[in-house]
Amino acid sequence: MTGREFFTARTVAEALAGFRPDHRTPVEHVPLADALHRVPAAAVASPAPLPGFVKSTVDGYAVRAADTYGASDGLPSYLDLLGAVSMGAAPDVAVRAGGCVAMPTGGVLPDGADAVVMVEYTAETMPGTIEITRPVAPGSGLVRADEDVTAGAPLVPAGRPLRAPDLGLLAAAGVTTVAVHARPRVVIISTGDEVVPPSTVELLPGQVRDATASALAGLVTDAGGEPVVAGIVSDEPGVLKDKLAEVLPTADLVVVSAGSSVGARDETAGAVAAVGSVWCHGLAIKPGKPTLLADCGGIPLIGLPGNPLSALVVFGQVGIPLLWRLSGCEHPPPAPSTLARLSRDLASATGRLDVVQVQLRDGVAEPVFGPSALLSVLTRADGYLVVPEPATGLDAGTEVEVTLYR
């Protein structure tokens, strides 16, 4: 090391666009029950058209549309009731000129019919005779056999996390298993002579319990990954390098929560450089400047700041998009957000992304400030806003987008 605290500093936008390791998780087949939010490795084509038959979308009567032309309240059309369609069965009756067939919603359209009249526009004036008071056009009140999906068309695309309606469409097509990318295995390493396990009952002067690893594991799980908390590594030279060599073969992403001192950061950078290629050491983000990104034989590594607030903010901005990309998703699903008015002026620096925690009250975003060592800043916040890199700040009253914590 040269003694410089940072080198190859990049903006967050540069990191998201430029730090793109090729590694992707392997493909596995999972049942639909386990497929929610998983990322398909390839588009799934429909084996047959859906719904597969022409069906009614309303309760009413299947008719030939031409038999209803000119019908009105004052001059209804009268049709012979020829029978009824049962749900889940093929019709045993056809529609002929001057006739109609009773239809339930979802029933199979009988031969000879080309429309369905809603029951609200009909009346049975005498047994076996149906009065029609509204005309219908061909195709009214029904869906085509391939109107939902044509045979061979994609049911779901590759690279987009599966949502609940996707599972329903797959089930409707008879697809019960899906080839998806495995959940990224994220190995979390904590470092620092001052860091002790959360189970430590009594702290010695200067010791802190490892809060960051538990919080990071939660973020990883929430983003669809599989966290592996690999324990605490001391600042002694060579120990972190050995730990990285041990975990890299089993990881899809390695996250190192580094110590806060310059020496500890230097040790992290040196250990990472010994097993991989450092892409940047320093991001133009507040909080979170001392961030390291590296490629270790195709496995990405993120070196986070030691302060918990900074570590979690950086992982949210850079780590979670990277985790989604590892699982085959190039465009992560957006987090829930809302618009609010800023309660006070916010200063910033051009070229730096500022992530500001806020509380929401009656449509007003109130910044929550505090040292980056305090996790309570995050627990008190309802979400955060971002002051973009070109801005020098935001004025009170500005409408801002607040990304909400779930």
CA distance 55 to 262: 70
Average the pLDDT over 184-210 and give the result. 95
Q: Is 90 exceeded by the pLDDT of residue 266?
A: no
CB 109 within 8 A of CB 116: yes
CB neighbourhood size of 120 (10 A): 11
Which residues, 6 or more positions from 91, have their beta carbon under 8 angstroms from its beta carbon? Answer: 83, 85, 101, 107, 108, 109, 110, 111
Q: State yes or no: pLDDT of 393 exceeds 50.
A: yes
358: tokens are: 């806020």
Asked whether the bond before 47 is cis by omega within 30 degrees of 0, the reply is: no
User: What's the mean per-residue pLDDT of the chain?
Assistant: 93
Set out the domains of the chain in order of their start, with CATH numbers: 12-26+182-326 (3.40.980.10), 27-50+147-181 (3.90.105.10), 55-143 (2.170.190.11), 337-404 (2.40.340.10)
The band of 265, judged by pLDDT with boundaries at 50, 70 and 90, is: low
Mean pLDDT within 142-152? 97
Averaged pLDDT, 16-43 = 96
Mean pLDDT, rounded, for 149-174: 97
Residue 1 in this model has a pLDDT that exceeds 50: no
β-bridge pairing 253-257 and 195-196 = unpaired
Distance of alpha carbon 234 from alpha carbon 239, whole angstroms: 7
pLDDT at 288: 87
Query: In the numeric block, which tokens belong to residue 249?
Result: 């073969």
Q: Which two tokens stand for residue 165?
A: 């309606």
pLDDT digits (tens, 9 = 90+) for 82-108: 999 999 999 999 999 999 999 999 999
Across 369-387, average pLDDT: 91
pLDDT digits (tens, 9 = 90+) for 303-342: 999 889 999 999 999 999 999 999 999 889 999 999 999 9
pLDDT tens-digit readout, 165-180: 999 999 999 999 999 9
pLDDT at 2 over 70: no
Q: What pLDDT band is residue 3 in, cutting at 50, 70 and 90?
A: very low
pLDDT at 267: 80
In this prediction, residue 9 has a pLDDT band, given cuts at 50, 70 and 90, of confident
| The model's pTM | 0.86
State mean pLDDT over 219-241: 95
- Phi, psi of 3, rounded to the nearest 5 degrees: 100, -15
Specify the residue for token string 């979670």.
320
User: Span 363-380, mean pLDDT?
Assistant: 91
In the predicted model, is pLDDT for residue 269 greater than 80?
A: yes
**What is the number of other CB atoms lying within 10 angstroms of the CB of residue 249?**
8
Residue 5 has pLDDT above 50, yes or no: no
Q: What is the pLDDT of residue 263?
A: 55
Q: Which amino acid is at 368?
A: V
Amino acid 334 reads P
Q: Mean per-residue pLDDT for 359-365?
A: 97
Q: What percent of the chain has pLDDT over 90?
A: 87
Please give the pLDDT value at position 4: 44
- The region that residue 275 occupies, defined by phi over 0 for left and psi between -120 and 50 for alpha, beta otherwise, is alpha
Decide if pLDDT at 268 tops 90: no
